[in-house]
A and B are shown apart, each in its own frame.
Chain A
Amino acid sequence: MNTPKKLADLAKTIRSKNAGTDKITFDIIFREKDTYDLVKRSKALTRESVCNVLGIDPERLTDFVEYDPANAIKFTILREQPSGSPGDGDIFGAQQYAPFLNLEVDITA
């Protein structure tokens, strides 16, 4: 049987921020190594799944790293326009993480 949990209930930090003028980077950080390993095993966060959540072409994903020293999964995308171009709704890229809060993680594995 599946045991779905929300990412927000598992992670300590879920954030997004500019990485330079042309990229936004996302950090999902877990307090416990066990939880981090559980989420890694669940494959809820992969190159494919994060592109699906954001509805972006996989070519816009430039980095996807499982970063063990910080119990973190980190990925980075290219912006369509550089930050602060007119029409950009988030100059700092700081509010782009919200769709990941409710991401379902199957922790049965």
Chain B
Amino acid sequence: MQSLKIICPNGHLGFAPLKTESFQLGVAAKPDFIAADSGSDDIGPVPLGSDTCASPKAWQRHDLEAMLLAARKAGVPMMIGSAGDTGTNSRVDMYIDMIREIATEHNLPPFKVGWFYSEIDKELVRGKIRSGSAVRGLDARDDLTEDVLDATDRIVAMAGVHPFLELLEAGCDVIIGGRSSDSAIFASAAMHKGFPEAQSYYLGKVLECASFCAEPYGAKETVLGEITPDAVDVTAMAPWQRCTIASVAGHAMYERSNPFHEFVAGGMLDMTNCHYDQASEKTTRVTGMEFVPADEFRVKLEGSGKIGERYVGMAGIRDPYTIANIDEVIAWARTQTEERFGKEGWELHYNVFGRNGIMGDMEPQIDRPSHELCIIVQGVAPTLEMAEEVTMTGTRQLFYARLPDVKGTAGGVSFIFDEVMQASPAYRWTINHTMAVDDPLELFPTHTAIIG
């Protein structure tokens, strides 16, 4: 094969629906694969910890339906990674169920579906730690301890190309992956057809966020990547977008700490010597990428652990004197909560919007608050009942704060309603580590079935 074409219609399938017009233009360009990633750790630790989705089912189904119908009509494979935002086992099963339902609804002729799981048991990780094989921390984290492991509710491993390759070799028409490196989904398709690793991983890297590699800015539009043995061409499908040298080179930096290196299970894509050419109006050609295989096969793990149940309260402040003394107001509410519940076993978090609610301690204008503030209060505690009362105390006591010179003695804050709201439980990213494995497939069991 001289070249291979893949389209990607969505950088995070389900998070917002794909745009149909550019997707259909992409389908008309006769791609060899239709693929998208459906996960992200941007959504915070709650979905992984609680095994839920951040995306509405209707949007996930919308995109799966568009992709499945186009792929089956063209007779090309469809590939999805990190099913349902987190890539847990239940999210993979949910996507497989959706594929079955869509196939039945549209009377699709029989096709072969393949899937793999990425969730791993805590005891497996504990065994590694006890055997002396350090589970190494990423991003300045310490190596994983059993204490942190015990505080973790769910762990997924980040698959590389290996389970995808196995399912492609098994002749699957549709592949639904558990948690996977975004680039591996696309790279595996190219490697399956014999293209070199460097170009294959680059193809994946540039396609994984769909139209984020195009300009002007606009997400959820389809892009097409074409790989040859020494280059990757990337083309915007939306009539109003182009892939330019600036947009494609700029995308290499997106969401990563370093624009030159992309780490995947089994090695590292080195983009240091990449060369970018404007091949035509809407197409940029990239050459010069390299792939450096890893000495040791390490898999990235993501883990989330529950801190407690959570309620949220809100309060507004307009009095300039109260605004100037907002820290005392909050301290009062904390003290009242301590008097009721003691110093430990609960948490209160205050975000003061209008001052530094977004940037916290990094806010350079912390001493120049707005003329009105909104305080978001989060109370976290072991039970729902206690979380509600902690949050209610932490919110309502803002109203009763005792500032010495306040003129407004009838109430210190405004409420849009006098209640607190149950939120998702509070979780924390407990694991962002890598673990050594002997076999690239050992954490990712694959399965196949015929649908229809």
* Interface set of A (CB-CB < 8 Å, partner B): 12-13, 17-23, 25, 27, 29, 31, 53-56, 62-63, 65, 67, 69-72, 74, 76, 78, 80-92, 95-96, 98-99
Is the beta-carbon distance between B253 and A92 smaller than 8 angstroms? no
B257 within 8 A of A: yes
Chain A residues, CB < 8 A from B274: 69
Known contacts A53-B364, A72-B250, A86-B349, A25 near B257 by CB under 8 Å:
yes
B140 within 8 A of A: yes
Q: Which 9 A-B pairs have the closest CB atoms?
A: A84-B44, A87-B349, A82-B429, A76-B257, A70-B249, A22-B139, A69-B249, A21-B429, A86-B426
Instruction: Closest B residue to A31 by CB, please name it.
Output: B246
Known contacts A67-B253, A84-B44, A86-B347, A56 near B362 by CB under 8 Å:
yes
28 contacts between A and B (CB under 8 A): A12-B246, A17-B254, A18-B42, A22-B138, A22-B139, A25-B256, A53-B364, A54-B364, A62-B139, A67-B253, A67-B259, A70-B249, A70-B253, A70-B259, A80-B361, A82-B428, A83-B42, A83-B45, A83-B429, A84-B427, A86-B349, A87-B349, A89-B353, A90-B358, A90-B359, A91-B44, A92-B42, A96-B362
Instruction: Closest A residue to B41 by CB, please name it.
Output: A21
Further pairs besides A17-B254, A22-B140, A31-B246: 16, Cβ < 8 Å:
A12-B246, A17-B255, A18-B41, A20-B41, A20-B432, A21-B45, A22-B429, A56-B362, A65-B260, A67-B253, A69-B245, A76-B258, A81-B428, A89-B353, A95-B358, A96-B362
Is the beta-carbon distance between B259 and A65 smaller than 8 angstroms? yes
* Contact size range, B: 35 or more
Q: Which of B246, B257, B363 has the most CB of A within 10 A?
A: B257
Chain A residues, CB < 8 A from B350: 87
With the chains together, A29 CA to B321 CA distance in Å? Answer: 41
Is the beta-carbon distance between A89 and B246 smaller than 8 angstroms? no
B94 within 8 A of A: no
Which of A18, A72, A82 touches B253 (beta carbons < 8 Å)? A72
Which of A54, A69, A78, A85 touches B140 (beta carbons < 8 Å)? A78
CB A44 to nearest CB in B, in angstroms, measures 15
Chain A residues, CB < 8 A from B98: none
B378 within 8 A of A: yes
Q: Which of B255, B350, B351, B353 has the most CB of A within 10 A?
A: B255
Chain A residues, CB < 8 A from B351: 87, 89
Is the beta-carbon distance between A27 and B254 smaller than 8 angstroms? yes
Is the beta-carbon distance between B45 and A84 smaller than 8 angstroms? yes
